[in-house]
Structure 1
Amino acid sequence: MRPEFDPELTRLPQLAEARAAWQRQLLLPLAFTGGLASLGIEFAAARLLAPFFGQSLFIWGTLIGLILIYLTIGYYAGGRLADRRPDPTLLFRLTAAAALWTAAIPIASRPILSVAQTGFAQISVGLVLGSLISVIVLFAVPVVLLGMVSPFVIRLRIRHLETAGNAAGAVYALSTLGSILGTFVPVFWLIPTFGTRWTIFILAFLLGVISAAGLYHAGAGRLYLLIPLAIAALGLLSGGAIRAAAYGIRVYETESAYNYIQVIRTGTETQLLLDEGTAVHSIYDPTTLYTHGYWDDVLLAPDFGSGRVPGRVALVGLAGGTVARQFTAIDGPIPIDGVELDPKIVDVGRRYFDMTEPNLHVTVADGRYWMASQAGRYDVILIDAYRQPYIPFYLTTREFFESAKAHLAPDGVLAINVGRTPTDHRLVDALSGTLNAVFPRVFVIDSSQRFTNSVIYATASPTTVDGFRARAQAETNPKLQPIVAEALAAGNVRQVPPNGIVFTDDLAPVERLIDQIILSYIRTSR
């Protein structure tokens, strides 16, 4: 009797060989996608944290350092695992897990970041730091898994020792190319176009697609095709606000290339909040001209200079145009140049803050570049450029103030809005000290009615505190008189002498100083 053979058994080696060949073809694309996803996740992580923790040098430093630690762990673990189990199916399962975990980050991070917002409201350093650490740890799993890809792919591609260098070089080249695209594509296209959460979902989806393709041909049928479908479903079901309003009613929110932007309404007042929302950047109230904040005090700048209505004004850090609207309402349609880095903030100002003055010329540019290349000559220049809670360091230095001085009329005034706490004036001292290195006279008015800010005025005009008071008290414009009365009564108007502090382009530790002020405030407020 002749033995019978099952024809299916003869096909198994052929199928296994075909699957192995298919998986080998996907190894280099997987290395490319892994590099793209790892860098894209890093930028998305920074943007995810920004509405709650800001975008300071220290947040970026912490994030980049931890991402590198995660990748280091992944490189080491991936190399060891690949030597023990050089199985491409295992590799594709690892990247599938990374894709699913990445897709879960926007959803899992929401309740944690809400706790962070509560921590800010309660001035609880434990809640804030705990939330920050928790969110960053969320990124550990996918980044470690993605770090395992390159050594694993190298191990699988090495057939002969003589071609090991070529195999490793091809993997590193494609992985690095993916990382390059992972830097540019999210920053210049995905995040500004689709937002942070959808950027994370898109990266997870791409990683899920290639993982599912590798596993589909590993004999698991159509089950693995559910991976990218599950990621797409998570993206579609994860709608809703980026961040709830801490107070008032949220009217609008969006993300730009520079900021998380939120517009809220409280009573008759509309306010502009950026990033973590701990400060108000613009105010619009159709029922009153006055803000009872530093914006009002800026309007007193001419009294430290010529004492006349300014002929031309520059506002570096226009935001929603509060000061432009006030200058126009009080002094008439004087030419005003407004400089704002973020075009979406300009759109928000026009849409929600009535920033429609025909005498306002808006330029979308970096303030320092604009000052050096486009600025004219002004009677008043206001510097009010914050990436909350920080002032860009290059707008706090002697070199920048020298550039601004060159664009002032002989009796012009440079005014700077400076944040502080009720008892800590260290940032005011640092900037007034730096201004004293450029201008012969520097003055300060504290705004203490609603917000803890100070306005520093620097001028070459031969002004004194008594001279300012005399001009202010003689003010005949009825719209300015309430501001004068408030400043003279509660503003602690004073001239500040040099104090030995001078920030330069080479050394301007403004972020460290502000962090020290914040931590000191938290400690004394508990």
Structure 2
Amino acid sequence: MASLPRDAWRPSPPGLAVFVSGVASMGLEILAGRIVAPQFGSSIYTWGSIIAVFLAALSLGYHLGGKRAAGRASDDRLAWLLLGTAAYVALVVFASDILMATAGAIPLPSRFASLPAVILLFGPPTYLLGFISPYAAELTETEGVGAASGHVYAVGTVGSIVGAFVTTFVLIPELSVEAIGVGFGLLLVGTALWLTWRNDRHEPTLASIAVALLVVGAGFSGALGVSAGGPVLYQTQTPYQELEVTQVGDVRTLYLDGQPHSAMDVSDPDRHVFEYTRYFHLPMLMTEDVDRVLFVGGGGFTGPKHFASEYNVTVDVAELDPEVIRTAKRYFRLEESDRLNVYNTGGRQFLQKTNHTYDLIVLDAYKKDKVPFQLTTVEFMRLAESRLDEDGVLFANLISAPSGPASKFYRAEYKTIAQAFPQVYTFPTASGSVVQNVEVVATKRSERLSPRELLRRNDRREIGIDLTAAIEMSRPPPPTDDVPILRDDQAPVDALLDPMVGQRYVVQRTNVTDPETPARAVRLPARSRLVEAGR
């Protein structure tokens, strides 16, 4: 049988342009979530804005491109569209923080806060990519409009599938945002060069070289910057979040999606840097004979390390993100042992499968704007209750306001926990109604412990830490008539978190020179750009 001609295996210039545009558009759409999340969060509102903007920009490009294709479609035009997109991607890599800050200044309701930034960063390049499909359909050597259109959109869809899988499963887990942006920019430039390299005209080639240098330069400028907040020791994109480790003076801080989650004094690792980690010890005043503790969420492993070193207990930690575990071992002195076991799994999955029961379960996997709803529902709270011993305690480290409009998530979670536990207590970590760490503690005992009784136990028991200040922050049960009980089939967590968008998250930080003095509220310094990228 005669073999196919060699050219039969070579993609046509329009087909390649469509395929690459599909890869780039879907890849940028997924990458957009990582770029926007540190400032605006990664709630359903943010993702809804991203999807809507990409679809709108593509639709506008399809429409105008279709009207102009008959008179303007050519390989050179495709190349210029790809180069224009690559140049704008370079701008996004270089100035995304500035562009987001500018767009974020527009006064909008909190749920729409990310929309101007998404439009500014990703509307123009996606609009340009929208022109490519109708131009390519006009240039496709296929009989009939239907056949040409079907071929083009099939190729573009395959490109989108490739872009989605490669970006999600390969690029984001392995590379920084800057590196991925540079990669997409160079892919677009390379395709433009391939489309025009046989032409006698030099303009597209020179433009391709210039844009390639612009893309590479943007990547290097993003990677080498340093701010007054101090250097970032490590930065990477994990399958779940953006992760950064910074250090200012002796204090090393872990940021997840732009929010501080753990801190360690490298000169005094036993010191509690963030005040809320001292509250982890409150359950030691509410139960007797603690032998086994479970932490759901690891972060910098401040709580698990303290419990394993200070008490005669076995500590298990369920942490979903493997990169968080690796980072804690490298930068926060996490060492597994017979008394400290780390499991790379989700908290709910771990509780469903474990054969152990616990004296204390600490839920430390919540963020200000991104909460795993499966860890908030009444079904989960009942599962946790069933894994606690008769005298067991549940401790939930929430980020919310204790009162006011931004308290909806805390009050709904309080109401939900109360469906599974007889007694629920509240301990804010800062004064006022600011967004802060609000500690909710639940016990299986029917009798309620008063603050006075907790103070007496604090005086009598030797637990290695004075919790007087924490106990004095105790608050009565909040009003819950206007908030729902969260359930697996209806947990409107994003709507409950929405009032916190744009509000400053106040982290109580202990005094560096005298840990016994009252904590002070601080806003952590601005983070620098990365010094060490990727893994």
Q: For residue 93 of structure 1, what is the aligned residue in structure 2?
A: 80
What is the alpha-carbon distance in structure 1 between the residues aligned to residue 296 and residue 501 of structure 2?
25
Secondary structure of 2:199's aligned partner: helix
Asked if 1:272 corresponds to 2:251, the answer is no
- Find the partner of 2:208 among 227, 247, 253: 227
Post-superposition shift, 1:47?
1.4
1:11-26 map, 5 Å: 25-26=12-13
1:424-443 to structure 2, matched below 5 A, reads 424=404, 425-443=407-425
Alignment of 1:316-355 (within 5 A): 316-332=296-312, 334-355=313-334
Looking at structure 2, the residues matched to 473 and 95 of structure 1 have their Cα atoms a distance apart, in angstroms, of: 67
Task: Report the alpha carbon displacement of residue 400 of structure 1 after superposing the two structures with TM.
Answer: 1.3
Is 1:502 the counterpart of 2:520 in the alignment? no
Distance 2:23 2:39 in 1: 26
The answer as to whether partners of 1:103 and 1:231 remain within 8 angstroms in 2 is no
Question: What TM-score, normalized to structure 1?
Answer: 0.83
- Structure 1: runs of 5 or more not aligned: 1-20
Identity %: 29
2:233 is matched with which residue: 233, 238, 251? 251
Query: CA offsets per residue over residues 81-113 of structure 1, 9 Å max, x none?
Result: 112334333233222322332233211324334
Structure 1: distance between partners of 2:328 and 2:10? 53
Paired residue secondary structure (2:362): strand
> How much does 1:311 deviate?
1.0
Change (3 A) 1:292 1:235: closer
1:395 maps to a residue whose letter is L
Segment of structure 1 superposing worse, 291-300 or 447-456: 447-456
CA displacement at 1:370 relative to structure 2: 2.3
Q: How far apart are the structure 2 equivalents of 1:33 and 1:253?
A: 28
Distance 1:222 1:114, change over 3 A: same
Q: Find the aligned partners of 1:100 and 1:111 in 2 and give their Cα distance.
A: 17
Deviation at 1:324, TM superposition (A): 0.8
Aligned residue among 462, 465, 472 for 2:446: 462
Quick one: structure 1 residues 411 and 184, their matched pair in 2 at CA, closer, same or farther if it must change by over 3 Å?
same
The DSSP-based 3-state class of the residue aligned with 1:338 is: strand
Query: Retained in 1: the 8 A contact 2:50–2:118?
Result: no
Cα 1:48/1:430, change in 2 over 3 Å: same
Range 92-101 or range 54-63, more displaced: 92-101
Instruction: State the partner residue of 2:140.
Output: 157
Q: 1:452 and 2:431 equivalent?
A: no
1:282 and 1:319 in contact (8 A); partners too: no
Q: What aligned pairs does 1:72-111 form with structure 2 within 5 A after superposition?
A: 72-111=59-98
Contact 2:298–2:319 (Cα < 8 Å) also in 1: yes
Give the TM-score taking structure 2 as reference length. 0.82
Q: Equivalents in 1 of 2:227, 2:342: separation in Å?
A: 29
8 Å Cα contact 1:465/1:493 also seen in 2: no
Deviation for aligned residue 1:154: 1.4
Contact 2:428/2:437 (<8 A) preserved:
yes
1:473 matches 2:458? yes
Change (3 A) 1:98 1:517: closer
One-letter identity of the residue aligned with 2:133 = S
Over 3 Å counting, the alpha-carbon distance change for 1:269 and 1:204 in structure 2 is closer
1:340·1:362 contact (CA, 8 Å) conserved in 2? yes
The structure number with the bigger radius of gyration is 1
Pair 1:137 & 2:117 matched? no
Contact 2:336 2:342 in 1 (8 A): no
Tell me: CA distance 1:257–1:245, structure 2 relative to 1, closer, same or farther (3 Å).
farther
- SS of 2:12 mapped into structure 1: helix
1:289 aligns with 2:271: yes
For residue 515 of structure 1, what is the amino acid of its counterpart? D
- Residue 218 of structure 1: how far off its partner (Å): 3.3
Could you list the per-position Cα deviations for residues 164-213 of structure 1 after superposition, in whole angstroms to 9, with x for gaps in the alignment?
33322221211111000110101111222222122122122222222222
> For the Cα contact (< 8 Å) 1:109–1:135, is it kept in 2?
no
Aligned residue in 1 for 2:515: none
Highest RCO, 1 vs 2 (Cα 8 Å, sep ≥ 6): 2
Q: Aligned in 2, Cα 1:275/1:309: closer, same or farther, shift over 3 Å?
A: same
CA RMSD of superposed structures (Å): 3.3
Q: Decide which structure has greater helix share.
A: 1
What letter matches 2:278 in structure 1?
Answer: D
Aligned residue among 337, 348, 360 for 1:380: 360
Say yes or no: does 1:41 pair with 2:49: no
* Equivalent residue pairs, number: 488
- Give the direction of change, closer, same or farther, for the CA distance of 1:473–1:205 in structure 2 (3 Å limit): closer
SS in structure 1 at match of 2:427: strand
Given candidates 326, 335, 350, the residue that maps to 1:356 is 335
Give 1:475 shift. Answer: 3.4
The letter for the 2-side match of 1:475 is: R
Match of 2:371 in 1: 391
Check 1:75–1:514 CA distance in 2 against 1; reply closer, same or farther (3 A cut).
Answer: same
Residue identity opposite 1:97 in structure 2:
G
The alpha carbon displacement at 1:330 in A equals 2.5
Q: 1:371 to 1:286 in 2, by over 3 A?
A: farther
* CA deviation after TM superposition for structure 1 residue 282, in Å: 4.1
| Cα-to-partner distance string for 1:131-190 (whole Å, 9 max, x where unaligned) | 9724532322221111111122112225533xx333222212111110001101011112
SS of residue matched to 1:67: helix
CA distance in 2, matches of 1:521, 1:233: 36
Name the SS of the counterpart of 1:238 in structure 2: helix
Structure 2: tracts of 5 or more residues without a match:
1-7, 506-535
Find the partner of 1:203 among 180, 184, 190. 184
SS of match in other structure, 2:306: helix
Q: Alpha carbons of 1:207 and 1:265: their partners in 2 closer, same or farther (altered >3 Å)? A: closer
Contact kept? 2:401, 2:438, Cα under 8 Å: no
